[in-house]
């Protein structure tokens, strides 16, 4: 059983894995090692994963056999476990609780060598539908307060398997960084009586210089406050706090824009590792008017240094305006201040 | 001129480098490349750095020539610049200000191939004295609100030069992550009428299982809430909020314990990359009773994944109790819950 721990000073929570603890010899300090063996996410390896939770399939094909387009399975090495209750207790000045939660893997496609940007919009739609449907399902479990969907692409972004996949973690509380956003957005709303993200969308559409791509329903831009080079934000133009309530027609538009954004990234930066995150409202959505769901896309181009860790203050060597230009294909422009 | 930017929602600040902007071709996506050329931090290369600000030297040797033990110079490629005023202005819904600050490099030793743990305690003392003396000096500049001292060791920790060095950045405001600690520590104090870090020291000395090493004045332990495998915290046993007020006798004890801790790290983990951070009170120290300066040491053994970025919620595969055992040299123990 994993253990959750809370820092009495910062309020930060962590998960400690007590079941598969790593020793000094267990770390891959070397990088770019070739892996051998069979891929557990390819057709014909369905028995290598835990039994599937959900899948989009060719009609007539059986569960846990080939014939699927997108397949959802429990993570074989979950950070949190689905069974059990939350038992909170004090340990001296510290607090801890059991590691109860869900940790699922969304296998995006049977094609080992295709990435999201290589798929058709309809294929990407299956992935997004899986995100949505799993969210709706897990919201029924009252132990879960927050659902985090994310994708790590490439080893330096934390991916341990090459085969295209996303992950979903259901947490027994709303995590710190999300709370910061929720509270910050709430303060913004209280002050201006408007959603801060809606304001951002309007300003970016007006300024244009940080916009990467858009369609009628969605926009992707390099945020004014980008922590990392080529970081992008993708969000609905119309206010919406809860991703799981999105309708299928809009999901297809999202699929198109996401494919476009990732293709631009691959083109401009020679297929970099990246993290993709979905930030949506918590299960108990008391932030409907002030929060606005969004995706964050962060290519892993630089090492995060001690300074960033120590301060929460990031040094970004590429202006978002330049990043957007590169991603639009306009090329760089001189930006002396 | 760099530009500082503030996110209207999270309150997060960033620095955008507009002067040396990087394009897609500027990133080292490949790792472990050998570097050629002369080291600018070795004896005889003193002309390759900006003129020295401070140094400990053999008596009779001239500034900017060999003969120094520890040498402080301005960073040749500073994240912030020393000249100018803070001009804050709004850009639509966003805020920004100039990148005014200081960015110095502490060259720890003339020996290119020796690291902090290889130096004698007296040599480490020179480094810590440089930390302290530069802090005292920069506090005189009223534009600076926070001084962050840190060390990146190894490429994957963000070090761009091999030669042993630390860095100091003086900031025109107190950064977010430090503010979180300050405020959290203040709340802890208000609630219990005790310093939270003092409480932690007492509990760790009593529990013993997370203690790595200690002497009369300082203790190093794996925090109960370690974000990363083998993360360690080093702090004075006696309450002190401001590192720059430390006396030289205690600095020597700190030098000994820091050398000990880093030697254990090197021994247990085969010389990993790490980040070392000094968290001290802000220049305007209104937190004297509730804050407690400390060092954080974080080996870079794992990739920080999308999930961590998205939640501020870290998954740590090594329990602090195991980490402490390995670093003490006791070996692992079964820790089933």
Write out pLDDT tens, residues B264-299: 998 888 788 899 999 999 999 899 999 999 999 998
Q: Specify the CATH number of the domain A193-303+313-328.
A: 3.30.428.10
Q: What is the pLDDT of residues A148-176, one digit of tens each?
A: 999 999 887 878 888 999 999 998 888 87
With an 8 Å Cβ cutoff, are A312 and B277 in contact? no
A201 pLDDT exceeds 50?
yes
- Which of A40-54, A178-192, B64-78 shows the lowest mean pLDDT across its residues? A178-192
Higher per-residue confidence, A312 vs B30: A312
pLDDT, residue B228, reads 84
With an 8 Å Cβ cutoff, are A311 and B175 in contact? yes
Percent of chain B with pLDDT over 90: 56
Domain A3-19+37-176 and domain A193-303+313-328 have a common topology: yes
Domain layout of chain A by residue ranges: 3-19+37-176, 193-303+313-328
- Total CB pairs under 8 A between chain A and B: 307
Over residues B91-109, mean pLDDT: 86
Fold of B3-20+34-176: HIT family, subunit A (3.30.428)
CB B229 within 8 A of CB B239: no
Give A296's contacts in chain B (Cβ within 8 Å).
309-310
Q: What is the phi/psi pair of residue B136, to 5°?
A: -60, -45
Over residues B10-37, mean pLDDT: 51
- Which of A11-20, B116-125, B146-155, B199-208 shows the lowest mean pLDDT across its residues? A11-20
> CATH second-level architecture of A3-19+37-176?
2-Layer Sandwich (3.30)
Over residues B304-328, mean pLDDT: 80
With an 8 Å Cβ cutoff, are A225 and B307 in contact? no
With an 8 Å Cβ cutoff, are B93 and A1 in contact? no
Catalytic site residues of B? 165
A296 pLDDT exceeds 50?
yes
Over residues B16-39, mean pLDDT: 53
Which residue of chain A comes nearest to B157, CA vs CA?
A305
The band of A324, judged by pLDDT with boundaries at 50, 70 and 90, is: very high
Chain A nearest C-alpha distance from B259 (Å): 19
- The CATH number, out of the four listed (3.40.50.10070, 3.40.50.280, 1.20.1250.20, 3.30.428.10), of the domain defined by the range B188-302+316-328: 3.30.428.10
With an 8 Å Cβ cutoff, are B27 and A302 in contact? yes
pLDDT, residue A5, reads 64
pLDDT, residue B96, reads 76
B29 pLDDT exceeds 50?
no
Q: Is residue B293 within 8 angstroms of chain A, CB to CB?
A: no
A98 pLDDT exceeds 80?
no
Q: What is the pLDDT of residues A221-234, one digit of tens each?
A: 999 888 888 999 99
Q: Is residue A333 within 8 angstroms of chain B, CB to CB?
A: no
Give B180's contacts in chain A (Cβ within 8 Å).
10, 312
Q: Is residue B147 within 8 angstroms of chain A, CB to CB?
A: no
Percent of chain A with pLDDT over 70: 84
Burial of B213-231, coded b for 16+ CB within 10 Å and e otherwise, reads bbeebbbbbbbbbbbbbbb
Catalytic site residues of A? 165
- Distance from C-alpha of A47 to C-alpha of A64, rounded to nearest angstrom: 7
Which residue of chain B comes nearest to A186, CA vs CA?
B9
User: Which residue in A31, A175, A305 is closest to B311 by CB distance?
Assistant: A175
A131 pLDDT exceeds 90?
yes
CB A246 within 8 A of CB A136: no
pLDDT, residue A228, reads 84
Over residues A139-155, mean pLDDT: 92
Burial of A217-255, coded b for 16+ CB within 10 Å and e otherwise, reads bbbbbbbbbbbbbbbbbbbbeebbbbbbebeeebbbbbb
CB B109 within 8 A of CB B119: yes
> Best of B14, B101, B154, B304 to disrupt the A interface by mutation (most A CBs within 10 Å)?
B14
Which residue of chain B comes nearest to A273, CA vs CA?
B29
Q: Please state the pTM of the whole predicted model.
A: 0.87
User: Which residue in A9, A302, A306 is closest to B152 by CB distance?
Assistant: A306
Q: What is the pLDDT of residues B47-57, one digit of tens each?
A: 999 999 999 99
Helix (H/G/I), strand (E/B), else coil: A176: helix
With an 8 Å Cβ cutoff, are A93 and B203 in contact? yes
- Which of A117-121, A214-218, B187-191, B298-302 shows the lowest mean pLDDT across its residues? B298-302
């Amino acid at each position: 059983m994993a253990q959750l721990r809370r820092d009495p000073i910062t309020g930060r929570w962590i998960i400690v894995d007590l079941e598969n603890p790593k020793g000094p010899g267990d770390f891959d300090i070397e990088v770019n090692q070739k892996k051998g063996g069979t891929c557990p996410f390819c057709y014909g390896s369905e028995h290598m994963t835990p039994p599937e939770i959900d899948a989009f399939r060719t009609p007539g094909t059986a569960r846990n056999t080939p014939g699927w387009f997108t397949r959802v399975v429990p993570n074989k090495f979950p950070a949190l476990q689905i069974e059990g209750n939350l038992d909170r207790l004090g340990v001296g000045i510290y607090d801890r609780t059991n590691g109860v939660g869900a940790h699922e893997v969304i296998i995006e496609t049977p094609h080992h060598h295709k990435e999201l940007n290589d798929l058709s919009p309809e294929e990407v739609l299956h992935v997004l539908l899986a995100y949505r449907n799993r969210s709706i399902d897990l919201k029924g479990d009252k132990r879960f307060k927050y659902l985090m969907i994310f994708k790590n692409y490439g080893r330096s972004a934390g991916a341990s398997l090459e085969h295209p996949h996303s992950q979903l973690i259901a947490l027994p509380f709303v995590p710190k960084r999300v709370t910061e956003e929720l509270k910050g957005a709430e303060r913004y709303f209280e002050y201006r009586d408007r959603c801060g993200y809606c304001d951002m969308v309007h300003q970016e559409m007006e300024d244009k210089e940080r916009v990467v791509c858009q369609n009628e329903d969605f926009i992707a831009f390099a945020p004014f406050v980008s922590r990392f080079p080529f970081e992008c934000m993708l969000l609905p133009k119309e206010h919406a706090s809860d991703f799981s309530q999105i309708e299928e027609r809009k999901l297809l538009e999202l699929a198109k824009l996401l494919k476009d954004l990732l293709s631009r990234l691959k083109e401009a930066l020679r297929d970099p590792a990246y993290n993709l995150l979905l930030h949506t409202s918590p299960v108990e959505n008391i932030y409907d008017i002030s929060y606005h769901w969004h995706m964050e896309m962060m290519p892993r181009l630089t090492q995060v240094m001690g300074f960033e860790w120590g301060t929460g203050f990031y040094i970004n060597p590429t202006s978002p305006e330049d990043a957007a230009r590169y991603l639009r294909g306009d090329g760089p422009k001189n930006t002396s201040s």
